[in-house]
Amino acid sequence: MNVHAAVDSRWSRLARPSGEPIRLNHQRFVAIDRHRDAKYEATYRPQALYNRADEGFHANHEAFLLHEVSTNLPIYREDTGPTDFHLHLPPGGFQLVMVTSGVFTFDYDGRFHHVGPGTVMLQSAIVHRQLFYTWSGLSTEENLRTPQSVVPEPMVMGYSAKFLEAFITDPTSFPNPTIVGPDQINEAETPQMAWSHLLHDRPAGAGFWLQDPLALDALYRPLATTSAEGSIHSTGPVHVRDMGIEAPSGHLVTGHIIAIDPKGHALLPRSSSGAADVTSFSKAEVVIYRVIRGSAEFRDGEGKVIELATGDVVTASRDALQFIGIGDDTQILRLGLLNGMEHLCQWTPTQRDEIDGLAGQIITRQEVRPLRTEGRPIGYLYE
């Protein structure tokens, strides 16, 4: 094989982050990131433009970053195409990806996942790569305006591939080592590899999670009018999808989609088994709302009404914000940051640089699966 396992002598002292503890902002605050002010930058790879919710990130002590990733160049160029095999090591092993348009193929620990709008993936410290993505051929300006959705609508699936991504702390502050560089990948054998290592800081019970938007556990349930959130003004029934990430995240973050159908059209895949369970909404120390499409209204603690449009993000502390209205054909991502995040620490700059320098040497075990659909993955989140 063209990848060889090795263990560096510095391994033992790099096993866990030893930097400053992570602290959520418990003071009363509301921070808004307006899409009209968005800056799309090719921060990490030339084919993708990143739009960060920086106002919320800084207001929340830089503990949690949400950004939009928009594919903007075709896959066949020499400087784009499939990525290298790499991994991310954020505190708590938390990386969330939710596809909002187009189609991707990801290779996680030797297994292909073909995903489209509405698919949710929670993973970290698993060796992976982005193998394929769709590109619409539109100009950058037009591409950034194409509609997004958390439902696999045919039109949205035909646009350039985009996703929302979230990390605990900033990706530049934790290690992101390349395990196999693009020039070392042998497509006949490297993609069959599964890798394992010990560099992580995950809570007990955390694990890999993938939720298909049409799976039974992803169906939308009506928001009960008797709940605290049931007073949301709307033109029709409001529905909620539980993304199921609380347990797989090690009880660090909850995730939901709050949505309403287009007028006269049943778009959301619904469940008939009762109202949505929103008891977890009250657990959040900090809450983040991102309008994927449509519009929404909130009220802050001083009674000021905040109107959000497509692409806007609001980040707020506990009880500093009330959700009061949702527009027609609206889909909103809601993330609740739990106090378990404050049991984590950040990587020190020295640790980050040393781990990045180790690259493929951090691999302690590797396994070849002749058939990609067979065998148990050996990434640490599966063990």
| Whether residue 250 is found in the same domain as residue 131 | no
For residue 352, is pLDDT > 80?
Answer: yes
Give pLDDT, residue 264: 87
How far apart, in whole angstroms, are the C-alpha atoms of residue 273 and residue 7?
51
For residue 137, give its domain range: 11-211+345-382
| Whether residue 170 is found in the same domain as residue 268 | no
224 is a domain residue: yes
| Whether residue 34 is found in the same domain as residue 172 | yes
| Whether residue 73 is found in the same domain as residue 27 | yes
| Whether residue 163 is found in the same domain as residue 222 | no
Give pLDDT, residue 367: 84
**Residue 54: CATH number of its domain:** 2.60.120.10
121 is a domain residue: yes
| Whether residue 222 is found in the same domain as residue 202 | no
Mean pLDDT, residues 52-69 taken together: 98
Token reading at 169: 């702390």
For residue 3, is pLDDT > 60?
Answer: no
Give pLDDT, residue 95: 96
Where does the pLDDT of residue 226 fall: very low under 50, low under 70, confident under 90, or very high at 90 and above? low
Q: What single DSSP character describes residue 81? A: S
Instruction: Kindly report which listed range (26-40, 214-228, 313-327) carries the lowest average pLDDT score.
Output: 214-228
Give pLDDT, residue 278: 94
1 is a domain residue: no
238 is a domain residue: yes
27 is a domain residue: yes
| Whether residue 133 is found in the same domain as residue 224 | no
2 is a domain residue: no
Give pLDDT, residue 1: 40
pLDDT tens figures, 251-296:
999 999 999 999 988 999 999 889 999 999 999 999 999 999 999 9
For residue 196, is pLDDT > 90?
Answer: no
| Whether residue 84 is found in the same domain as residue 153 | yes
282 is a domain residue: yes
Angle formed at CA 265 by CA 260 and CA 270, multiple of 5 degrees: 55
Coil, strand or helix: which one is 55?
A: helix
Q: Over the chain, what is the mean pLDDT? A: 91
| Whether residue 108 is found in the same domain as residue 82 | yes
Where does the pLDDT of residue 200 fall: very low under 50, low under 70, confident under 90, or very high at 90 and above? confident
Instruction: Kindly report which listed range (136-145, 263-272, 283-292, 307-316) carries the lowest average pLDDT score.
Output: 263-272
The answer to whether the beta carbons of residues 19 and 170 sit under 8 Å apart is: no
Range 265-272, long-range pairs (CB < 8 A, 24+ positions): 267/151, 267/153, 267/329, 268/151, 268/220, 268/239, 268/241, 269/151, 269/213, 269/214, 269/218, 269/219, 269/220, 270/219, 270/220, 270/221, 270/222, 270/239, 271/216, 271/219, 271/220, 271/221
Q: Domain count for the chain, please give it.
A: 2
Token reading at 300: 């802050």
Mean pLDDT, residues 305-313 taken together: 98
24 is a domain residue: yes
| Whether residue 180 is found in the same domain as residue 259 | no
| Whether residue 36 is found in the same domain as residue 150 | yes
What sign for the dihedral angle of Cα 96, 382, 175, 342? positive
| Whether residue 143 is found in the same domain as residue 229 | no
pLDDT tens figures, 233-244:
999 999 999 999
